[in-house]
A and B are shown apart, each in its own frame.
Chain A
Amino acid sequence: MPMPYYVSPEQMMQDKAEYAKKGIAKGRSIIVMEYADGVLLTADNPSASLHKISEVYDSIAFAGAGKYSEFENLRKAGIRHADLKGFMYSREDVTARSLANGYSQSLGTIFSQEIKPLEVEILVVQVGVNGHPNEIYRISFDGSIIDEKKFAVIGGRSETVQTFLKDKIDGQVPSLKAAVALCVSALEQTPNQKLAPEGLEIAVLERQRATRKFRRLSTADIKQLLAS
């Protein structure tokens, strides 16, 4: 009987990670940034109908980079998780932390048990109200979860964007206008060309809004914010 080839676990994990990273780097970047009145989510997305950013619950939003079918599946499962919790208990019991944990568990299990890992990187964001801080969780293809402050970048050549933003951001929390301008110029670093307002997907979680705080910005809104 022929024996299967022996592959060391280290090698196997390394191969999977490389495969997933390659898939994620193919796409374009998404930036999440805290601003004075909430959290801003900006994606370089030429499609007007296939969204990378989505509402999950009252004060929680989701952003996914990598393979569309895979992060779309994760997004839907997250909304189901949140709506079920909110229905079973109460609206205030739905938290980004619990959702991020669910994602981390799910991605981690798939990474170690399935042959093909998910080629996705996702962000779970919650705007803090009543003096609570905002929460930004970045979850990678292997289920590792990172609690980010001020801003986070996923997808595409995220390191380049990250380095650019690190230099530009100081102690001050920017206004919405300043944050949008900063995010757009950061996204323009990688293709090295101007991004049209039509090719941007921008949404905000606004602290002041009642119950559902997620709002998508229209192209007109974006143009107005970018006009100096």
Chain B
Amino acid sequence: MNLPFLPNHDDSSFFDFISKQHPDLTIGNRGLSSAPAGPDASRGVPPMTVPQATTVLAIKYQKGVVIAGDRRATEGFQIADRRIEKVFKIDDHSAMAIAGAAGPCIEMAKLFQTELEHYEKLEGVALSCEGKANKLGQMVKANLPMVFQGLVVMPLYVGFDVKRGEGRIFKYDITGGRYEESDYHAIGSGGKDARNTMREHFQKNFAEADALKLALMSLYNAADDDVGTGGPDLVRGIYPTAKCVTAQGIADVPDASIRAVYDGLIAARRSKET
């Protein structure tokens, strides 16, 4: 029966609930269809610029997955933000990193967090790792209309599958297609550069320190070749962020250990120049 003064909905998805009852709050429905958008040269309107990112990546290791991302957001040739956070904790066993238009990306991460918590509270059990990955795919698919407006949202999802006892990495395409990666993956404007580095150095059953080192080196190389990706900012002390997803939950890698890895890496590179 319907309850007056309280929100009524039939299933356990928060995303479906707000899509039906509060469409203004959901993704993929911004009512921008008449607004000048995208690089539409034929109409002579300047392309709409929104803050973009990114290089984000994930690498599997012995105990789980490390997920990391740089901190730069750009707007055309301008830097929009130097310390944006692109890696989000979603729940106790999963995290996601984002590439694309910053605003909708952050909104999708927040919506996905709420979605998983909502499901867990209503049903009394959390979704399976696979279930979470599929749900995120549906949300990416719902954003498809916005892609034609130039507002791409591209997530990289990692989760620890408690039933299987292993970390998993999922990548997506703009239509919501979901593909599982067996070892590592990187997305964003510098994704290809990061993947090249990882291809050369990746090994199965990495220790945590090695996986973190490779992740940070891949980000460094991506920043070297891609203007959209920020490297470590030694003057301001801004470093890429990383999280470890394991059976014990999600742990932020402390800034000090990231800084230590970069100090070693930069010293090694510098010695090659002299």
Interface residues of A (CB under 8 A from B): 49, 51, 54-56, 73-74, 76-81, 83-84, 86-88, 102-103, 105-106, 109-110, 212
Q: Once the chains are docked, how many angstroms separate the CA of A109 from the CA of B5?
A: 9
**7 A-B interface contacts by CB (under 8 A):** A77-B7, A78-B6, A83-B118, A87-B25, A87-B110, A106-B5, A212-B117
Q: A84-B18, A87-B18 are in contact. Are A110 and B4 (CB under 8 A)?
A: yes
CB distance from B228 to the nearest CB of A (A): 30
Count of residues in B whose CB is under 8 Å from the partner chain = 21
CB distance from B60 to the nearest CB of A (A): 28
Q: Once the chains are docked, how many angstroms separate the CA of A77 from the CA of B10?
A: 10
Q: Once the chains are docked, how many angstroms separate the CA of A209 from the CA of B158?
A: 25
CB distance from A46 to the nearest CB of B (A): 17
CB distance from A114 to the nearest CB of B (A): 8
Q: Once the chains are docked, how many angstroms separate the CA of A109 from the CA of B124?
A: 29
Q: Which of B1-55 contact A (CB under 8 A)?
A: 1, 3-9, 14, 17-18, 22, 25
Q: Of B7, B9, B17, B114, which is in contact with the most chain A CB atoms at under 10 Å from its CB? A: B7
CB distance from B268 to the nearest CB of A (A): 38
Known contacts A80-B9, A87-B111; can you find 6 more A-B pairs with CB under 8 A? A56-B121, A74-B3, A87-B25, A87-B114, A103-B6, A106-B5
Q: Once the chains are docked, how many angstroms separate the CA of A81 from the CA of B18?
A: 11
Interface residues of B (CB under 8 A from A): 1, 3-9, 14, 17-18, 22, 25, 110-111, 114, 117-118, 121-122, 124
Q: A80-B17, A83-B114, A84-B22 are in contact. Are A55 and B121 (CB under 8 A)?
A: yes
Inside 8 A of B110's CB, which chain A residues have their CB? 87
User: A81 contacts B7, CB within 8 Å?
Assistant: yes
Inside 8 A of B14's CB, which chain A residues have their CB? 80, 83-84, 87
User: A73 contacts B111, CB within 8 Å?
Assistant: no
Q: Once the chains are docked, how many angstroms separate the CA of A56 from the CA of B6?
A: 14
Q: A51-B124, A87-B110, A88-B25 are in contact. Are A79 and B118 (CB under 8 A)?
A: yes
Inside 8 A of B117's CB, which chain A residues have their CB? 83, 212
Q: Once the chains are docked, how many angstroms separate the CA of A83 from the CA of B25?
A: 13
CB distance from B187 to the nearest CB of A (A): 26
Q: Which of A55, A86, A88, A102 contacts B5 (CB 8 A)?
A: A102
Closest partner residue, chain B, to A109 (CB atom): B4
Inside 8 A of B22's CB, which chain A residues have their CB? 84, 88
